[in-house]
Amino acid sequence: MKIQKIFHYAYLVFAVLFLYDAITKWSEERNRAYLSLAFVALATFMFFFRKRFSKKFEDHNNK
């Protein structure tokens, strides 16, 4: 379970990296910046989705 928690935060790390990529490409290549922003949204969604799913899984196992 500890490894799973590390991967939760890896999604946030990737979101920050893609946000940095989007900011640096915004003035030059706007289409690629939009793609990076889509990955930011996806990584953020995956962080919260996986965190919520693992919490439900732990609660189900404790019953």
For the chain, the farthest-separated pair of C-alpha atoms sits apart, in whole angstroms, at 54
pLDDT single digits (tens) 5-55: 788 899 999 999 999 999 999 999 999 999 999 999 999 999 999 888 887
Q: What is the pLDDT of residue 31?
A: 93
Q: What is the pLDDT of residue 13?
A: 96
> Is the confidence at residue 1, as pLDDT, over 70?
no
**CA–CA distance, 31 with 25 (Å, rounded to integer):** 9
* Structure-model confidence comparison of residues 61 and 6, the more confident one: 6
